[in-house]
Amino acid sequence: MPKPFIGLTTTHTSKSSKTPKYGVNVLYAKAISSAGGLPVLIPLNLSEDDLDSLIFNLDGILFTGGNDIDPRQYGNSSHRKVEGVDEERDRVEIHLVKKLISSSKPFLGICRGFQVINVAMGGTLYGHLPDQFPGNVIHDNHDLPRNFIAHSVSVDTDNCLSKIFSSTQAEVNSLHHQGVRRLASELLPAAYAPDNLIEAFELPRYPFGLAVQWHSEELQEVEIMRNLFQAFVDSCLFDNPK
């Protein structure tokens, strides 16, 4: 059986002018390949025309995690805790989201990927949750192992995520200081943290359009997290208009 080609968005891994690099955390690629896909890294120097050509030849895209999106992309002033803004990555990913959806090809977003999909479709973000969305849930656990279970999420019934998980509850890690403030009008919330912050959303009536705030690639020892990647890769193989 052929394997689907799945694009993985990348980030600048070195600021050195001598050895600039694009890269992605290994566990994203491992999760895709373990589910039967062929991961393809998407560099950040491509023009919009080249990105469009790449999308045509891909079967789906995984929007990976990373640093913060430029607040100007969603009409906010910068917060002192916003860091690691990469205008080139913002440009590439926002274009990819819009073009991919117009092509009806599957996508999965994780952490920053979850946030950039929302922004590209017209939604907004909290610049820093502790200041703008105070509550009793600690969402930024970067000082702990990346697979540390931080809290549960409640999954809405009768949506794509609940069918993949076969459950309305899941235990997740949490490695973010930003979150969805206003969900884009075309998207539907799919899961919530205990403080009611949106933790997953989906694009309804779409081959496969789903994004989660937690890092499921870091939780591949958990069956439902493997099922999430499997469902995505399967959709790239069987539900693709290419």
Q: Write out the catalytic residue numbers.
A: 111, 215, 217
Alpha carbon distance 127, 150 (integer Å) = 21
Show contacts of 121-124: CB within 8 Å, 24+ apart.
Answer: 121/97, 121/184, 121/186, 121/187, 122/184, 122/185, 122/186, 123/74, 123/180, 123/181, 123/182, 123/183, 123/184, 123/187, 124/74, 124/75, 124/76, 124/180, 124/181, 124/182
The residue among 118, 124, 139 whose CA lies nearest residue 202 is 118
The residue among 47, 57, 45, 198 whose CA lies nearest residue 117 is 198
Q: Is 75 helix (H, G, I), strand (E, B) or coil?
A: coil
Q: What CA dihedral angle connects 33, 192, 118 and 175, to 10 degrees? A: -60
Q: How many CB atoms neighbour CB 167 within 10 A?
A: 11
| Contact (CB, 8 A) for 213 and 111 | yes
Secondary element (H or E) of residue 22: strand 21-23
